[in-house]
DNA sequence: CAGTTTGTTCATTTTTTCTTGAACAGGCAT
DNA sequence: ATGCCTGTTCAAGAAAAAATGAACAAACTG
């Protein structure tokens, strides 16, 4: 026996399908995700949760977006990792339910932390590796040129390292100044 | 008759192969390009030009990186479009020669202008389309929810729109303060 | 003008990335 | 325990993106 009788008709209608504007919002996030190099399904899932006020379970997400179990599971994992969704335990419900994080500051800082900072770290290692290679260069002209370029790269690295915290700060500040 | 005799032996040696550190730098830019969603070949080409002080012609780039004519041509076009390389006409040489733009500020603002701003523009259009869809929604609860979400999106849009110019400004400022 | 050199375009192929779904694992209830 | 409900993993398939190279165009050369 199915659990239909437990849901109010309004609820089941709510979850059953997407309204036009919701579809448009989901498409918007799909495009946004792609434009920052994230898989489409991440954008779709986030977009859906963004549209809804009530927490959704994975199987509802799968139905509404027509995505596979695998995509839903992995997508939600990534989103959680980015800090873009959080799971919320509903009393009496066994399934895990998800809601979207809608504070831009959180979204941005999560994205930067996961996507940008690792690259910066790796960059540091690369720079010192580079140092060794330049130092080991026989041709003196080439070595000199190498040193020059390395200095440029080191400068860039420093600047980008400074930029990231500033971005978080700015988004946070402007966000607050606009709230209500 | 080939034009070999015109080049000094030192020059032809210079162009003939990559030193170890150059290979490493090129690889660094390859990874950097991928991490911001640009094709690898863009990164490679930029990396090579970054390493060299002398302008390079397309056929030299092809040889040094072992990329096809098509990739080189398209890659250089994109890089020029991004403001990351400029072509330099050498007296007496028929081929077009390229040099890398190494001012971070230019690189960042070019990237933002080409990659971010178009999305922001499209976002504006999407938002007004969304407005129409929400207004046309029958279900009053859904419409109300839609309005709420739209306001959030509009706020984000405004904030990101403010952020971009600030980023350019900051990179410019810190860059100057570190020079020399 | 005919022949070269230089560079672009684009259909095809190759590579990479994303999605799918079946097998699996853990937990809850009976 | 046994069977069910949730969710994860991962090999295989599908889709998207990028690289290739041959055909083409344009501009110079003699």
| Cα dist from A141 to A37, A137, B51, B151, whole Å | 39, 9, 12, 59
How far apart CA A174 and CA A170 sit, in angstroms, is 6
As a whole number of angstroms, the longest Cα–Cα distance in chain A is 82
Alpha carbons within 13 A on the beta-carbon side of B44: 18
Which pLDDT does position B171 carry in this prediction? 82
Q: State whether B102 and A152 contact (CB < 8 Å).
A: yes
**Which residue, A165, A31, A35, A117, is CA-closest to B114?**
A35
Q: Which nucleotides of C are covered by protein (CB under 7 A)?
A: 5-11, 17-23, 28
**What pLDDT, on a 0 to 100 scale, did the predictor assign at position B83?**
96
- Chain D bases having any atom below 7 Å from a protein CB: 5-11, 17-23, 28-29
**Nucleotide nearest the Cα atom of B40 (by C1'):** D18
Secondary structure of chain B as H, E, C letters = CCCHHHCCHHHHHHHHCCCHHHHHHHHHHHHHHHHCCCCHHHHHHHHHHHHCCCCEEHHHHHHHHCCCHHHHHHHHHHHHHHCCEEEECCCCCCCCEEEECCCHHHHHHHHHHHHHHHHHHHHHHHHHHHHHHHHCCCCHHHHHHHHHHHHHHHHHHHHHHHHHHHHHHHHHHHHHHHCC
Instruction: Kindly state whether B6 is in contact with chain A, defined as any CB-CB distance less than 8 angstroms.
Output: no
User: Quick one: residue B66, left, alpha or beta (phi over 0 = left, psi -120 to 50 = alpha)?
Assistant: left
Chain A residues with beta carbon closer than 8 angstroms to that of B35: 37, 115, 119
Query: What pLDDT does B6 receive?
Result: 37
Query: Chain-wide mean pLDDT for chain A?
Result: 88
d(C-alpha A109, C-alpha A83), whole Å? 9
Do residues A43 and A32 lie in contact, with contact meaning Cβ atoms separated by under 8 Å? yes
Give tens-digit pLDDT for A162-179.
999 888 887 876 666 654
Are B36 and A32 a contacting pair at CB < 8 A?
no
| CA–CA distance, B6 with B93 (Å, rounded to integer) | 11
- Chain B residues with CB inside 8 Å of A156's CB? 104
pLDDT per residue of chain B (180 residues) written in tens, 0 to 9? 433 333 444 444 444 799 999 999 999 999 999 999 999 999 999 999 999 999 999 999 999 999 999 999 999 999 999 999 999 988 888 899 999 999 999 999 999 999 999 999 999 999 999 999 999 999 999 999 999 999 999 999 999 999 999 888 878 766 666 544
Q: Decide which of B93 and A77 is more confident.
A: A77
Q: What is the mean pLDDT of residues A6-25?
A: 68
The predicted-structure confidence for A87-123, as pLDDT tens digits, reads as follows 998 888 889 999 999 999 999 999 999 999 999 999 9
CA distances in angstroms from A113 to A30, A45, A167, listed in the order given: 21, 21, 12
Q: What is the rounded average pLDDT of the residues A149-167? A: 93
Interface contact flag, B28 A145, Cβ < 8 Å: no
Q: Show which residues sit with Cβ under 7 A of nucleic chain C.
A: A 37-41, 66-71, 74-75, 94; B 34, 57-59, 69-70, 73-74, 76-77, 94-96
Residues A143-172 have a mean pLDDT of: 92
- The residue of chain B with its CA nearest to that of A102 is B152
How many Å apart are CA B65 and CA B84, to the nearest integer?
18
Taking CA atoms, B134 is separated from A99, A105, B108, B148, B152, in Å, by: 22, 26, 37, 10, 14
């Amino acid at each position: 026996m199915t659990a239909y009788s437990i849901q109010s008709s309004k609820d089941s209608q709510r979850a059953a399908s997407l309204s036009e504007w919701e579809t448009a919002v989901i498409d918007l996030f799909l495009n946004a995700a792609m434009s920052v190099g994230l898989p489409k399904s991440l954008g779709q899932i986030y977009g859906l949760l963004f549209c809804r006020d009530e927490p959704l379970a994975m199987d509802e997400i799968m139905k509404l977006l027509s995505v596979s179990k695998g995509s839903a599971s992995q997508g939600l994992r990534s989103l959680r990792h980015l800090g873009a969704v959080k799971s919320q335990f509903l009393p009496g419900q066994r399934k895990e339910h998800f809601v979207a994080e809608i504070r831009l500051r959180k979204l941005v800082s999560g994205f930067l932390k996961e996507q940008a900072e690792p690259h910066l770290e790796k960059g540091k290692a690369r720079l010192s590796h580079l140092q060794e290679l330049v130092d080991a260069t026989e041709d003196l002209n080439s070595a000199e040129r190498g040193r020059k370029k390395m200095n440029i790269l080191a400068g860039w690295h420093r600047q980008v390292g400074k930029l990231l915290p500033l971005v978080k700060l700015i988004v946070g500040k402007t966000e607050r100044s606009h709230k209500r």
